[in-house]
Homo-oligomer: A and B are copies of this chain.
């Protein structure tokens, strides 16, 4: 469970090397197409060393996924975000989110979780709660604060958060999932801006004059 600690000192770096190699290969090729040989070779250790720490391929996969599933929302928040006004926050979160969901890392992670969802049902729940679910709840809190200040009118913050993120994913998300190229940076930014404007049209107390 919580033996991810193993003395963070000088040596005992090999377990981490193994996890790094596992992440790299599992996310690139998926569970089935990744062999323990390849992981050992990439980590620079022997296969027996891998098995000394992780008793099976499944356990190594689970350990890697548990470590990765928590890394998403931090990339979307960040302390400098809290100096912005509410609408500025919308714009900043939108700009980060479109980059985030189209990034190769995020796309690979979702692919692998989806591919293994039937074989490992709890994996999907862990991923959802720590990544999209967490982002959704955090963003809903932000919307609720904006509602309290009278800047937005949001009666159901979670639902509004869904609208915001859904519109940002657009069909870019599906396109990236199936391997089509992500839009260029400029298009991502344009899209994010347009979605923020649309979101404001939907949720600003006084409708925009347009």
Contact = CB atoms under 8 A, between A and B. Distances in A.
Interface of A: 28-33, 110-115, 117-119, 121, 123-125, 127-128, 132, 136, 162-163, 165-167, 169-171, 174-175, 177-180, 198, 201-202, 207
B166 A170 contact: yes
B198 A201 contact: no
Given A32-B30, A119-B33, A113 B178 contact: yes
A33 B32 contact: yes
Nearest to A207: B207
Contact of A118 (B29, B113, B127): B29
Contacts of A163: 167, 170, 198
| Copies of the polypeptide in the assembly | 2
Given A114-B114, A162-B171, A202-B202, 14 more contacts: A28-B118, A29-B119, A30-B30, A30-B115, A31-B32, A32-B33, A114-B177, A114-B178, A114-B179, A121-B179, A123-B179, A127-B178, A163-B170, A165-B171
A180 B171 CA distance: 21
B115 A111 contact: yes
28 contacts: A30-B115, A31-B32, A32-B32, A32-B33, A33-B119, A110-B114, A110-B177, A110-B178, A111-B114, A111-B117, A112-B115, A113-B178, A114-B114, A114-B115, A117-B177, A117-B178, A124-B179, A125-B180, A127-B178, A128-B175, A128-B178, A132-B174, A162-B170, A162-B171, A166-B166, A166-B167, A167-B167, A207-B207
A110 B170 CA distance: 16
